[in-house]
Amino acid sequence: MTSLQDRAALVAAVAAQYTEQVDRDGRFPTEALRAMKEHRLLSAFIPKEFGGEGAALADIADVVSILSQSCGSTGMVYAMHQIKTSSLVTHGGASAWHRAFMERICDEQLLLGSATTEGGGIGGNLRNSICAVERKGERFSLEKVGALISYGIQSDAILITARSGPDAPPSDQVMAVFTKDQYTLEQTMKWDALGMRGTCSDGFTFRGEGDAAQIFPNDFGDIAAKSMLPICHILWSAVWYGVAYAAFARAQNFVRAEARRTPNVVPPGALRVAEAANMLQLMKSNTTAAIHRFEKAEQGGEDLGSVGFIVAMNNVKIGASRMACDVINHAMLITGINGYRNDTPYSVGRHMRDAMSAPIMISNDRIFGNMSNLLLMHRIEPSLVA
Amino acid sequence: MDRIRQIIDKHGRLPAKAETLRPQQDLYAAGLTSFAAVQLMLALEEAFDIEFPERMLNRRSFSTIEQIAACINELSPKALAS
């Protein structure tokens, strides 16, 4: 089999053909998903013993970035699928049901969706649930109202959070897997947004019933702190890097074309290209440093789930989301009217609209709020390299 | 332990009274949020005149009343006796 990155490039080429249509019509990138399944990208993160490739997080992040350079929505869908997969890889190994499910993801190239938010004012707050699982013997059922589920219709299975029982407080959560044949989705809201239009993050009422074995054995707080939070922030940052890189590349092409037309004169936009390249490098270092820290923490020790680790991972998200918008803003200034128009080779409007989701997808203000609390106790490490 | 329970009642924002919690009971499962955990930590530092070092600043240290007592005992063996 060819390398993961080579196969990602083939999928990215498909995504690129349809990205404008996906964006304009707010439709799901069906063709790119079909190519992902054909090239077996959906199971890359799953360990070899279950039929996957056991890819490193760095390689998955690279694939996310490659796809996002062609189509932000496609990259984001793949990132979200891998964030869900990571919960299975990290926490599902102890349970026979989840091990068998990982094999199914590989065999059938299943796309995993996520239902972690719900209505009633808790929307967007990952660590609180209103709904609760109701256990009856070996079975359980769950109803979640007002859940925003990206590509909910296209998902082959959904990982969903809920309180661990009808009497549990909002923060005592579990996560469960439901396969498509086990739930119904009643659509309550249509996704029509500024950017990331192809993620189809519609609102639904979710009703499902399954075997109690489908509930993860660990409590959700543990899953959130140890795998979901870091991998989510790393892979989102990879999406935004990809989107920012694509806009930067267009701006650089624009300036090069100008330089060719007027030899011996450095075009005015060249300085901004240099400035944007600097920000792009910061974005890259930011994300790769987080990948290294996560991979090291996963080997053992106290770092994973510590306050310092959580602060660092939150900072990765904030840094990447802010810089993505700055880079693309530079690209717009460089390309001028050609970038502003939607019909030139230098158009960067879609990139800008996609990237503007970054600071509000888990609002940076809310993250800063949480971090200001954590920094009442945590001291930032003085060492540069540790 | 009683002083810890008093501080939990005041700063832990739990739905249940701390006197009903067993020493080994998971405080996060009982409703302790990460925000309240920080406030609880600051209140414990103030009450027992201690400072939690970095290595204790994790989810586990504040996960049960027994764990909190163990951390305090380690930092200031006499604090809980008084």
Q: Which of A101, A186, A118 is nearest to A152 (CA)?
A: A186
**Which residues fall within 8 angstroms of residue A257, CB to CB, at 6 or more apart?**
none
Q: Which tens digits make up the pLDDT trace of A273-300? A: 999 999 999 999 999 999 999 999 999 8
Same domain, A121 and A106: no
Q: At B43, which CATH number?
A: 1.10.1200.10
C-alpha to C-alpha distance for B7 and B17, rounded to whole angstroms: 11
Give the pLDDT mean for B50-71: 89
Position A49: which residue type?
A: E
User: Number of helices and strands (H, E) in chain A?
Assistant: 12, 7
Whether residues B54 and A225 touch (CB distance < 8 A) is answered with no
Query: Which of B58, B61, B68, B71 has the most A C-beta neighbours within 10 Å, making it the best mutation to test the interface with A?
Result: B58
Asked, for residue B32, whether it belongs to a domain, the answer is yes
Q: Helix (H, G, I), strand (E, B), or coil: what is residue A133?
A: coil
Asked, for residue B80, whether it belongs to a domain, the answer is no
Same domain, A42 and A178: no
| Ranges A89-93, A145-149, A226-230, B78-82: which has the least confidence | B78-82
Number of structural domains (chain A) is: 3
CA distance A133 to chain B (A): 15
Query: Which of B11, B33, B50, B63 has the most A C-beta neighbours within 10 Å, making it the best mutation to test the interface with A?
Result: B33
* pLDDT (0 to 100) of residue A246: 98
Structural domain boundaries, residue A24: 4-110
Q: Which tens digits make up the pLDDT trace of A61-80? A: 999 999 999 999 999 999 99
Q: Which tens digits make up the pLDDT trace of A337-385? A: 999 999 999 999 999 999 999 999 889 998 999 899 989 888 888 888 8
Q: Kindly give the pairing relationship between strand A139-150 and strand A134-136.
A: antiparallel
The answer to whether B77 faces chain A, any CB pair under 8 Å, is no
Same domain, A71 and A176: no
Contact A126, A117 (CB under 8 A): yes
**Helix, strand, coil shares, percent, chain A, to 5:** 55, 15, 30
Same domain, A335 and A354: yes
Listing DSSP states for A237-279 in one string gives HHHHHHHHHHHHHHHHHHHHHHHHHSTTS--THHHHHHHHHHH
Range 6-65 of B in CB contact (< 8 A) with A: 14-15, 28-35, 38-39, 41-42, 52, 54-55, 57-59
Domain end point (choices A94, A110, A126): A110
pLDDT at B81 over 70: yes
Residue A307 phi, psi (nearest 5): -65, -40
Structural domain boundaries, residue B40: 2-75
Whether residues B35 and A370 touch (CB distance < 8 A) is answered with yes
C-alpha to C-alpha distance for A44 and A60, rounded to whole angstroms: 8
Same domain, A84 and A16: yes
Number of structural domains (chain B) is: 1
* pLDDT (0 to 100) of residue A1: 65
C-alpha to C-alpha distance for B61 and B16, rounded to whole angstroms: 20
